[in-house]
Amino acid sequence: MSKIRKPAVAGLFYPADPGELASEIDLLLGVSTPAQIPVKLSGVILPHAGYIYSGRTAAFGFNVLKNKSIKNVIIVSPSHHEYFNGISIYDGDAYETPLGVVEVNDNIANKLTKDSKFIFRSTNGHRQEHAIEVQIPFLQRILSDFKIIPVVMGDQANVYISELSEKLADALDDNTIIIASSDLSHYHSKEEAGRFDSIVEERISKFDFHSLSIDIKNNSCEACGAGPIISMMKAAWIKGINKSIILNRSDSGDTSGDNSHVVGYLSAAIYSE
């Protein structure tokens, strides 16, 4: 492997020491048992803040992936540091974390980009992006043999969501799942954040990605990864999958004790019966 994306937020969003990192993830997984674990999963919605803030909510989502025959994980994230038109799939060989290297599945990556107007292979959006990186150490602790397809949405307009959802639907199979990486409302009071985030929770729980899209457009609620969430849900719907369950919801004030300016987090699973 000649091109490996090195960790950008190790020591910031999560521990840089491998032993400390593994211990923290195992602890979070141990205290985050979902009330229900769907059998036939197609995807999960997970937060992407520092583990101290959103790690427990994320762990609820990762716990539903344990003991599944997952070989490929498509991680779709927003772009926090770079704006660009379209959707970028990492053009290198692997992502690295303190727990080791995870290969990119070129076959699926190229399938997603084939004949696409908007989806391409590049380093755009991947250089400093944390929303993909923070998911990978959890995956390394719960899955034994898997590859990733790291996808960054440089623009979350409907035309890009429509293209991505069609491509994701084509890529979904029994050994592949999608992670939609997103936090919820940002820097409102805990009370106001609760009102915003409850709308997102309700839309996801009712599998109503159409109304969620309208709510986001009208600023009725917030999610930095609304595009990834809607793309993943629409892809599942195209495949005839329309079940969802909320696993956990929290905000940064639960950890920091500062409820004046919080960030909201949610984990959910998309599945079929």
pLDDT tens string, the chain, 273 residues long: the values are 799 999 999 999 999 999 999 999 999 999 999 999 999 999 999 999 999 999 999 999 999 999 899 999 999 999 999 999 999 999 999 999 999 999 999 999 999 999 999 999 999 999 999 999 999 999 999 999 999 999 999 999 999 999 999 999 999 999 999 999 999 999 999 999 999 999 999 999 999 999 999 999 999 999 999 999 999 999 999 999 999 999 999 999 999 999 999 999 999 999 998
The identity of residue 269, as a single letter, is: A
What are the strands, taking DSSP E only, across 1-141? 4-5, 40-46, 72-78, 87-90, 94-97, 100-103, 119-122
Domain residue ranges of the chain, discontinuous segments joined by +: 4-157+165-183+197-253
Give this prediction's pTM.
0.97
Nearest to 184 by CA among 82, 265, 94: 265
Question: Which phi and psi (to 5°) does residue 49 adopt?
Answer: -85, -175
CA distance 223 to 227: 9
What CATH topology corresponds to 4-157+165-183+197-253? Protocatechuate 4,5-dioxygenase; Chain B (3.40.830)
Cβ 112 vs Cβ 167: under 8 Å? yes
**DSSP-derived secondary structure for 179-195:** EEE----EEE-HHHHHH
Cβ 132 vs Cβ 181: under 8 Å? yes
